[in-house]
Amino acid sequence: MLLGTYSSKLDSKNRLFVPSVISREFQSEILYLTSLKEFILVSTQETFERLVECYLSQRAEQLRENYGRGIYSSTFSCKIDSQKRILLPANLVNEHNISSQVIWVGMKDYAEIWNGDDYHKWLTVEFPDGLSYNDFKLKDDFSKSFRPSR
């Protein structure tokens, strides 16, 4: 299961170090890199297919092909090399303004790659219910859900 946040660095050849916690989960799988609004989604083929199918099934039939074209044309495959790096395509680096500082976010069965500055800005965003990321962490009802009931 992919959990936690990890800092990483992008080198001058667009190779990105994959934290060992994440590389262990993906092992020798071919990874799919999908460009989303705020981040690059990193998943296995199985997870990618499941996420895309779920998304497309919610669209009107006549729009599925166009939505699918947008998704598949902005997705790239790669493999973790022997030095635990992946090669990010230049257009993804440019589109997401990825500089040397990158944040990996574990999201259970996939990971996200964020520009470090964008991720830190996200941490300060207020959610629709008026709560921020820090409010969510401190919210009493969330912490109580981890305590055994008596």
Tens of pLDDT, residue by residue over 76-106, are 999 999 999 999 999 999 999 998 899 999 9
pLDDT of residue 125: 84
Is the domain spanning 5-116 CATH 3.40.1550.20? The answer is: yes
* pLDDT per position as a tens digit, 26-37: 887 899 999 988
Predicted pLDDT at 32? 94
Domain ranges for the chain, please list them: 5-116
At residue 139 the predicted structure's pLDDT band, cuts being 50, 70 and 90, is low
Beta bridge partners of 41: 34, 112
Q: How many CB atoms lie within 10 A of CB 108?
A: 9
> Is the pLDDT reported for residue 140 higher than 70?
no
Q: Are 84 and 23 in contact (CB under 8 A)?
A: yes
CA distance 102 to 116: 5
pLDDT of residue 147: 54
Token pair recorded at residue 55: 């998304």
**Nearest CA among 87, 73, 82, 65 for reference residue 35:** 73
How many residues does the structure list for the chain? 150
The torsion angle over the Cα atoms of residues 6, 19, 35 and 1, rounded to 10 degrees, is -90
